[in-house]
Structure 1
């Protein structure tokens, strides 16, 4: 449960619109003056869909679009945008990147580690992209010992330097990848040895992934409710699972799989944790927040929901909403656990 040093709202104080409180400890997350505003809107294409990687050294936010038809090439594409969140007004520019159909991303080595879904003719995989113009990207890995990945979705970096990522079949369902050659699994890649391992399976659609601050727990969302072809099945998983990160025979394993949380609205897509271990997920009604014990604390309400988001400086959060980016002001002491990478 959250404990912070700054003054927060109390249960007797009216909560501003845009926030919903389900447990009193959520007031500590909100801080004394919570606020939610749209800071950027672009209705030309769904530019703000995934990743939401905030780079603190440059005060820039990198986001990937939803898949759309490029009006010039008439082909399905995904674009990366670089957002200057300190500009007045906030501005964005498209990054001409070589990442193949980028999706999720995470801070790494001062830049961004991207997952790329791939196309019918190019493999998906992991890319390291510089945060500095011209934002050069280097390909890292694209398959499991000769078998191409399906369509990588999201990634996180552990303190030992390893990359943990999810690989659902969404791009195949959308018609932009060949028939899958691997089950829908979660992987660990060691950049030092270039060894890649399957660390979890049994998912309908493995999606978001995050690691607790003490690195004892790994959270992975299964978004099988959203099939990927435009249809949904409410009887399929829309669930966050927690795993113990155990060391067995000198190697990391995910053990003790258990249900961590099930949101009331939509699927839990992108996952993040704060320094206190609280778990945040992009859901159908906005950002849902649970304690490390799985108690729903509250929600940051966004119409039509969000796929992903990221922490900025001083308790700010950037929330993606397809054609809009919201900025939430929360407790100024809240911090991202991702910037150390």
Structure 2
């Protein structure tokens, strides 16, 4: 079966509801268009948007030039309730795909694209970079002409390795508007970045104060990152099990760590690192919470769901797994499955990021 719901704990029924479904929205075989990011925008006209990044693939006509493209999926709702409304799906590659070099994770963002201008809806993309273009954080304007600006590319002059995933804080404790992101060495291992000049770490950037800090180290390949709903906990995945060469090592971490966000001298720190969960299939890549604090991560056989206490509640299985996913509205979840984009309809859960 291509997709299914598997319960490991009775509490999974409260998440998926009485009649969960999963449908194939888009299938496209020319390249793996549905790999990372998954940034959802709910629009007032019942035409929602989803921005996703492809996996790396060779530019047509070349033998060794690896590129990533960004797709914009438009979901036209024919009805006000996502659970019952028919949906027309349109997919296109944005004109600015390669202005974000080797794009990966992303998050909803508000950004001023001109000095003195009002902030507007944007996607903050992680760019893994290339030999010629820096890794870092890039803001992409959602409205046409989809302008792209480099927000950050180095740690006090030392270039980032391959920035992978990002989340923006809203709480006072974590620092409202601060940007938290991971930086593993995948670009070097996969042959499109120079040798790392920084350890594999997690960083925090305050765009108002222009301050930059390393927040967590000791990780082999820090990858996905998200906050608990109250932002008292940060979850970070370590995907050291999978190296950029494609080599795997069962003795290395395929793990989600939890950290408490504490305040010291008025500034946030990460403390009390603990093993929250280990993925039994593949790696825990993209990671998100719902409003009840349950933790979801894209793994080798689909999306796994844990309770706030680290108990595996169940999994949404899709053949080939899901590197990433995102919540839509009214219990929707979009699963990125390389050449396929799936939509699962769950119960009454809402993603903590947007709360819709």
What range is the shorter-chain TM-score in?
A: over 0.9
Q: Is the 8 A contact 1:238 1:267 kept in 2?
A: yes
TM-score (norm 1): 0.92
Question: Structure 1 residue 96: deviation in Å?
Answer: 2.2
* Distance in 2 (alpha carbons) for counterparts of 1:212 and 1:156: 11
Q: Does 1:194 align with 2:193?
A: no
Aligned to 2:188: 172
Q: Deviations over 1:119-153 (max 9, x none)?
A: 01111111111112221111111000000000000
Alignment of 1:292-331 (within 5 A): 292-331=308-347
Q: Does 1:79 align with 2:30?
A: no
* Distance in 1 (alpha carbons) for counterparts of 2:12 and 2:146: 38
Q: Which residues of structure 1 form unaligned runs of 5+?
A: 1-15
Aligned to 2:284: 268
Aligned to 1:107: 108
* Distance in 1 (alpha carbons) for counterparts of 2:338 and 2:210: 35
- Superposition RMSD in Å: 1.4
* Distance in 1 (alpha carbons) for counterparts of 2:124 and 2:182: 14
| Alignment partner of 1:143 out of 154, 177, 187 | 154
Q: Is the 8 A contact 1:289 1:297 kept in 2?
A: yes
* Distance in 2 (alpha carbons) for counterparts of 1:100 and 1:338: 25
User: What is the aligned residue count?
Assistant: 324
Q: Is the 8 A contact 1:52 1:309 kept in 2?
A: yes
| Alignment partner of 1:61 out of 37, 50, 57 | 50
3-state secondary structure, aligned to 1:234: coil
Q: Does 1:96 align with 2:131?
A: no
TM-score (norm 2): 0.89
Once the two structures are overlaid, the 10-residue window that deviates more, 51-60 or 143-152, is 51-60
* Distance in 2 (alpha carbons) for counterparts of 1:85 and 1:73: 33
* Distance in 2 (alpha carbons) for counterparts of 1:23 and 1:117: 37
Alignment of 1:8-19 (within 5 A): 18-19=4-5
Alignment of 1:117-266 (within 5 A): 117-159=128-170, 160-266=176-282
Q: Is the 8 A contact 1:69 1:77 kept in 2?
A: yes
